[in-house]
Amino acid sequence: MTDTPDPCDLLVDDTLILTLDGEDRILSSGAIAIRDRRIVDIGPARDVAARWTPAARIDGRNRLALPGLVNVHNHTPLMITRGMIEDVGLAPMYTPGIPQGHWLSEDDAHALSCLGLYEVLRSGCTTVVDFYRYPQSLARAAAELGVRAVIAGRVHDADPAALATGRYEHLTRIGEASLAENAALIERWNGHDGGRIRCDWAPHAPDTCSDDLLREVAKLVEAHGGNIHTHLSQLPNEVEAVKARSGLTPPQLMDRLGLLDRRLIAAHCIHLEHDDIALCGRSGMTVAHAPIGNAKGGRIAPIVELAEAGARIALCTDTFSGDLVEAMRWALSMQRIHRQGHVLDARTVLGWATAAGAAALGLGDAVGSLEIGKRADIVLLDRTSPSLAPLVDGYGLLVHGASGHDVDTVIVDGRVVLAGGRLALADGDAIVARAQAVANRLWQRAGRHPIG
Ligand SMILES: [Zn+2]
């Protein structure tokens, strides 16, 4: 009896596949069949091709297939500060003399978000957490470009104008406006496109949110579900301000207010006191590790110690560069400097950028590895790139040698969103030009005249 092949939407055929599944299966000549947004078959190319009649086919020869990378913390509108903020200050919200978030219009936020999401897709990231002002602009950009996204607003009640001069003024009207913005985002965008876009709550940081506002967020998260995204122990002045206000360190304050638990994804965790490490570890929270951003501030988060204490680690770019491949390399190398020894390995760090990020977001059953039943979020790297040879175990070269620029094709939810390095659903050249025009205007307002 001969089985008749079933129809499928897309077949990635005859390619080298690193599945990153539970057994770390590697298929030297494999194929992936996709139907209704999901992987319905994966295995040796000859077997898979015989079982399916695809509507479209991608020739995977000279390609390397990986699960899409997961970037657990980013703010695309802050792209406007990169290349400048690194040498003049730390986080933009605390730095005068640069374009400030409250200068952006909704349209500006959309233009910059398109740029940021273009860059992350171009570098092999298929899931990104993005939060800032005008979150509906971020959601719209993610919907248009085809990336999987978790979007939130920037909830805070500290007055940004006062903060840029080093003063904390918590104003109820600012807090209420930011809560309303996030609530409207959830109402409009949560679950968009079959769940490709999800919306969460993101209190900016324990110093820029008052205790009352953080308590309110805790209630809202309890009712809504999803994650809590924040910045934690990012800067010495944040730690000092929280201690002056409460007598507690930032992790202790978050714990007291019911926010330090497995739902929390906290960027940075750099300026921790010793007891904080054990507290964060016990909570099961996830550290969104931003090694490139940490390094620019001159100090790296103790992520090996945090992991040993029980915290979960995932990776992010936090605006500076959208290249999570680069972030993997920095994460590993910076810990070897920090610990002055041979800690971590490439496979561990690749896991932080895939399955660990997916698990932190509650998406462990959906993305993070290439397996039957999961969403078809797949990245194809160009094996003719000189930085992708010689491949031996695959993992080492990916982390120590590859670059996001080796990415050729990106599939999200079974749809090709990047092909030959170019966006499939939007005009990448127009996105870059539009973002530059926004930057020209806002940097001129800040007193600088861009050369572009
Ligand atoms: Zn951030």
Q: Quote the pLDDT of residue 164.
A: 78
Which pLDDT band holds residue 91 (cuts at 50, 70, 90)? low
Q: Quote the pLDDT of residue 79.
A: 87
Q: How far is the CA of 231 from the centre of ligand 1 (A)?
A: 6
Q: How far is the CA of 388 from the centre of ligand 1 (A)?
A: 31
69 with 353: CB under 8 angstroms? yes
Q: How far is the CA of 441 from the centre of ligand 1 (A)?
A: 24
Q: What is the DSSP letter of 77?
A: G
- Closest Cα to residue 353, out of 142, 30, 128, 121? 128
Q: Quote the pLDDT of residue 145.
A: 98
CA-to-CA distance for 46 and 30, rounded, in angstroms?
8
CA-to-CA distance for 445 and 71, rounded, in angstroms?
31
Q: Quote the pLDDT of residue 11.
A: 98
pLDDT digits (tens, 9 = 90+) for 35-82: 999 999 999 999 999 999 999 999 999 999 999 999 999 999 998 888
Amino acid at 225: G
Report the percentage of the chain scoring pLDDT > 70: 98
16 with 30: CB under 8 angstroms? yes
**Residue 28, φ and ψ in degrees, nearest 5:** -75, -30
Return mean pLDDT, the chain.
Answer: 95
Rg (CA), the chain: 22
pLDDT digits (tens, 9 = 90+) for 275-329: 999 999 999 999 999 999 999 889 999 999 999 999 999 999 998 889 999 999 9
Report long-range pairs for 429-432 (Cβ below 8 Å, ≥24 apart): 431/111, 431/114, 431/115, 431/118, 432/115, 432/118
Domains and CATH numbers, the chain: 6-67+369-423 (2.30.40.10), 70-360 (3.20.20.140)
Q: Quote the pLDDT of residue 88.
A: 79
Q: How far is the CA of 288 from the centre of ligand 1 (A)?
A: 9
pLDDT digits (tens, 9 = 90+) for 334-369: 999 999 999 999 999 999 999 999 999 999 999 999
Q: Quote the pLDDT of residue 1.
A: 46
Q: How far is the CA of 29 from the centre of ligand 1 (A)?
A: 40
Q: How far is the CA of 422 from the centre of ligand 1 (A)?
A: 27
For the segment 186-198, the average pLDDT, to the nearest whole number, is 98
Is pLDDT larger for residue 320 or for residue 204?
204
Which pLDDT band holds residue 160 (cuts at 50, 70, 90)? confident
- Closest Cα to residue 94, out of 235, 219, 196? 235
179 with 216: CB under 8 angstroms? yes
Q: How far is the CA of 234 from the centre of ligand 1 (A)?
A: 9
Q: Quote the pLDDT of residue 81.
A: 87
Query: Is residue 90's pLDDT more than 70?
Result: no
Which pLDDT band holds residue 2 (cuts at 50, 70, 90)? low
Query: Is residue 92's pLDDT more than 70?
Result: no
Helix, strand, coil shares of the chain as percentages rounded to 5? 45, 25, 35
Task: Compute, in degrees rounded to 10, the torsion defined by CA atoms 395, 401, 404, 405.
Answer: -130
pLDDT digits (tens, 9 = 90+) for 424-452: 999 999 999 999 999 999 999 988 889 87
Q: How far is the CA of 155 from the centre of ligand 1 (A)?
A: 12
CA-to-CA distance for 417 and 425, rounded, in angstroms?
6
Q: How far is the CA of 386 from the centre of ligand 1 (A)?
A: 33
